[in-house]
Amino acid sequence: MIKIEDKFIHIATNNTSYVFCITPYGDLQHLHYGGRVADNHLDVLKELRSVLLVNTLYPDGDESYGIDGTCFEYSFANRGNSSAVGTIMSDKNGGVFDFVFSNAKIGEVPPTLAASSHGYDNTLVVIMKDKCRNVMLELWYLVYENVDVITRFARVINCEKEDISIHKLMSAQLDIFGDDFELTTFDGAWGRERIAKTHTINSGSFLAGSHSGMSGAECNPFFMIKDKSAGCNCDDVFAFNLVYSGSHQFSAERNPYGVVSVMNGIQSDGFLYKLQQGQNFVTPESVMTFSCFGTNGVSQNMHAFVQKHITRYVGQLPVMLNSWEAMYFDITEQKVMAVIDGASELGFEAVVVDDGWFKNRHNDTLALGDWVEDKNKFPNGIVSVANYCKSKDMIFGIWIEPEMISVDSDLYRANPTWALMTPKAKAIVGRNQYILDLTKTIVQDYIVEAVGRLVEDYGIGYLKWDFNRRLSDICCDDGSQSYHYRYTLSLYQIMERITKKYPKLIIEGCASGGGRFDLGMLCYCPFVWVSDNTDPLSRAEIQEGTSYGYPMNVMLNHISASPNHQTERSSKIKSRLDIAHCGAFGAQLDPNKLCKEDKQALSDAIKVYKNDRVWLENCKSYRLSNGQVDNHCIWQIMSKDGDYVKLVIFKKRFYTVDATLKIKLKGLDDDALYEIFGEGLTRQAYGLTLKNGGFVLPQNYQGVKYEESTGRIGDSGTAVYYIKKKG
C-alpha cells in the first residue's frame, strides 16, 4: 500500500511501515521505518523540537528544524551537514546541487537496471528538482508487500545544456534515531567467504564495501543493523542488500544528535560520472527489510524476496557432478566418459566438465578466450561426450570464464586491444590473466556468440560462469571515472542477451569460489557456487554466514573428497553430505574412486535430496544457535506449509563428555502431533512441547566407545532429524 496525504507519504507492507513527509522547505523528512503504523495522524511521528541545536544550520531560521537533528530521506551536500550525504553532484563551475520536492507519483513503471527485482506490488517515485538548475533527482520505491521488502534506487536526469558530474549517488539512505546500534557485515576472503562480524555504531562512521570491480569475497553487499539487545528471534532488525555485482559501498554514521545515517550503493571512492544534456543515470537497486522477529525474521524476508523476486530461472536444478577436484587440468575424454558412467550409476542428473577442456588449456597461464574443444583431449569432440551424457539422461555442462583473456591465446593474438592493459606500462595480472573490456560492443557480441556456439554446436545445457580476477589497468575511460559501473552494466547486458536467447540454459555463478555471490548475479544464475572450501567445518560457518542474506536453494554446495583439498582436514562422508544437503546439492570428486560404502552413502543421499528439494525451494529456515560463536551450527529448515522440518546440527569440536543440548524448535503448530525420526531414533511430541520444552538431543558418544557404522553426532560431526506433522 502506498498513500500520499497531507504531505505525508506512507508505504506499507504486510508487517512494516515506511513513512516520510514533505517539509515546508521542500525537504523529505524521514519519520519511521519499522513495524506497521496506522494510516492517519502520522504527524505524531514528527519531533516538536523547541531546543536550539547549537552549531547546526536551519532553513529560514526555523529553530525547530536543525539540519543535524533531522532524519532525511536523502541528504545533499552544501547544507552544512556534519555527516556524509547521499549524493554529491556538481556543475562545470563546481557548483553543488541541492534538491527540493517537486512531485510524487504512484504506479509508474520503474526505469531499473537490467539486473533488478521483479513482481512488485506497487511503485512510488518522488521527483526532486535542483534549486538552481533544470536537473531532476527521482527517488524510486518498489513495494513487495508479502515479503516485507521495499527496494529503492535513484535516477538523475540532466535537462541542462551543460554536462553535470555525479561524484556520489547512493541507491538508498535511511536515517534512523539510535543510540547503540550494531552493524553486522559478512566478509572474509577466498575460502572463508561471508563470515558474520559485528561492529558497534555509537559514534563516527563505519564504511565498508569493495573497490575491485566485483562485489567480492572481502565484503558482501548484504548487511544488518540492529539494536544491541535484538536477538535471533526477537526485537528490531533492519537488513539491506544491493542488486549489484560491481564495486559497492555501505556505511552507517551516527552524529552527536543521535541520527544514524545508513546508506548503500555503488562505490563512490574515485567515482565520477559525466551526464550530458538529456541523459540519465540510474543506480542499482537497494533492498531493505525490517523485522521485529530478530535476525531470523529479516533473513526469512530476504530469502522469500530472493526466491520470488530475484531469481528468474524456471525449472528444477539438477544434482550435479563437477570435474574440478577430480581432474583439475588433467582432463581426457576417457576420464570424462568414466565419470559420466559413475555419476549416472549414483543418480546424478548433470555432469559438468570444469576448467581445462578447451584448446591448449593445460594450466592456468593459457588459452582463456579460445572457447573451442581441445582435440587432443577430446579426439571425438565434445559433442560426442555431450551426447553420451545425454544418452544417460543427464545434462552436460562445461566451465567458461568469458570475461577473461590469456595473452597466450588466439583471441589475444587476434584482438590485443580487447584486453584491459595500461598502454606503455606493464599490466597487472591476476591468475596469469587479463580482463576483457566488456564495455566494447564488439566484445559483448563475441561473448554472446561464444556461449551460443557452446549451446548450439556442443549441446551444452549447463554453464559454470567463472570470474577469477579483479579489475585493474582501466585505460579506456571517457573522461568519467565510472568504469566499474559501466563494466557491471555491460556484464548484465551480456547475461540478459544470453538468458533471453537460451532460457533453459542453467548458469552457475562462480568467482574464485564465492567472490561474486550477490543479487545481481542471482538475477541470471539460479544458484551461485558458495566457496571453493568444501571442508564441512569451514563450510558450515560459510553457509551459516551466507544464510543471513540468501536462501539455501541459491547456495550451490558440493561434497568433495577427504582429506579436503583446501584444508587437508579429514571428515566422514556423512558430515560432508549433511552439510552439502543444505543448499543446491552436488559433488566434485571422482565417483569411481569412492569406496563401496561411500558410493552407497552418496547414492542414498542423492535420493534423499531429490525428495527434499521439492520443499527446499520455498523453505523457511531458522538459525537456532550462533554458529560463529557457539560449538554448534543448528539449522531448522521447514517446508512452506510447516508440515516438514529438517533439523541439521553440526558440532564443531568434540568433548568426551558434553553438555546436554536441548533444541527449542520454531514455527510449529502448537496442537499438532509431530513424529521425530533420524539417527536411529523415533519419537513423538506436540508442537507446543517441541517449541517450549525443546527436543533433547541424544548423546551417543562419551569417548569410551566408537562405532564406525553409526551415523551419530559423536562420530561424524553432524546429526540430522526430520520432524513431520502427523495426519
- Give the three cell numbers for residue 492: 548484465
Query: Binding of ligand DGJ at residue 399 (CB under 6 A)?
Result: yes
Given 68, 187, 374, 466, the catalytic residue: 466
Q: For ligand DGJ, which stretch binds (CB under 6 A), given 38-46, 132-140, 506-514, 610-618?
A: 506-514
Q: For ligand DGJ, which stretch binds (CB under 6 A), given 54-62, 304-312, 509-517, 692-700?
A: 509-517
DSSP string for residues in 407-474: SBSHHHHH-GGGB---TTSPPPPBTTBEEB-TTSHHHHHHHHHHHHHHHHTT---EEEE---S-----
- Give the three cell numbers for residue 501: 536467447
Distance between CA atoms of 289 and 310, rounded to whole angstroms?
15
Buried b / exposed e over 337-351, threshold 16 CB at 10 Å, is: bebbbbbbebbbbbb
Locate cell 555491460: which residue?
490
Is residue 532 annotated as part of the catalytic site, yes or no? yes
- Give the three cell numbers for residue 199: 561492529
Q: For ligand DGJ, which stretch binds (CB under 6 A), given 86-94, 435-443, 510-518, 687-695?
A: 510-518
Query: Binding of ligand DGJ at residue 510 (CB under 6 A)?
Result: yes
Distance between CA atoms of 249 and 271, rounded to whole angstroms?
12
Is residue 62 annotated as part of the catalytic site, yes or no? no
CB of 357 to ligand DGJ, least distance (A): 11
Tell whether the torsion through CA atoms of 532, 533, 536 and 539 is positive or negative: negative
Q: Which uninterrupted H or E stretch holds 350? A: strand 350-353
Residue nearest to ligand DGJ (CB): 355
Among the listed residues 554, 533, 530, the one whose alpha carbon sits nearest the alpha carbon of residue 543: 530
- Residue from the set 513, 583, 627, 717 that interacts with ligand DGJ by CB under 6 A: 513
Distance between CA atoms of 411 and 359, rounded to whole angstroms?
12
Q: What share of the chain is helix, strand, coil (3-state, %, to 5)?
A: 20, 35, 45
Question: Do the Cβ atoms of 262 and 240 come closer than 8 Å?
Answer: yes
Q: For ligand DGJ, which stretch binds (CB under 6 A), given 132-140, 245-253, 383-391, 508-516?
A: 508-516
Query: Binding of ligand DGJ at residue 193 (CB under 6 A)?
Result: no
Query: Binding of ligand DGJ at residue 324 (CB under 6 A)?
Result: yes
Residue 650's DSSP bridge partners are 633, 718
Query: Binding of ligand DGJ at residue 466 (CB under 6 A)?
Result: yes
Query: Binding of ligand DGJ at residue 264 (CB under 6 A)?
Result: no
Question: Do the Cβ atoms of 222 and 238 come closer than 8 Å?
Answer: no
* Closest CB to ligand DGJ among residues 297, 586: 586
Question: Within 353-392, which residues bind ligand DGJ (CB under 6 A)?
Answer: 354-355
* Closest CB to ligand DGJ among residues 110, 509: 509
Query: Binding of ligand DGJ at residue 532 (CB under 6 A)?
Result: yes
* Closest CB to ligand DGJ among residues 313, 399: 399
Distance between CA atoms of 324 and 356, rounded to whole angstroms?
9
* Closest CB to ligand DGJ among residues 513, 627: 513
Size of the site for ligand DGJ (CB under 6 A): 11
Query: Binding of ligand DGJ at residue 512 (CB under 6 A)?
Result: yes
* Closest CB to ligand DGJ among residues 296, 538: 538
Query: Binding of ligand DGJ at residue 468 (CB under 6 A)?
Result: yes
Given 532, 535, 590, 612, the catalytic residue: 532
Question: Within 472-501, which residues bind ligand DGJ (CB under 6 A)?
Answer: none
Distance between CA atoms of 195 and 188, rounded to whole angstroms?
6
* Closest CB to ligand DGJ among residues 29, 588: 588
CB of 464 to ligand DGJ, least distance (A): 6
- List, by residue number, the catalytic residues: 466, 532
Using CB under 6 A as the criterion, which residues of the chain lie in contact with ligand DGJ when the complex forms? 324, 354-355, 399, 466, 468, 510, 512-513, 529, 532
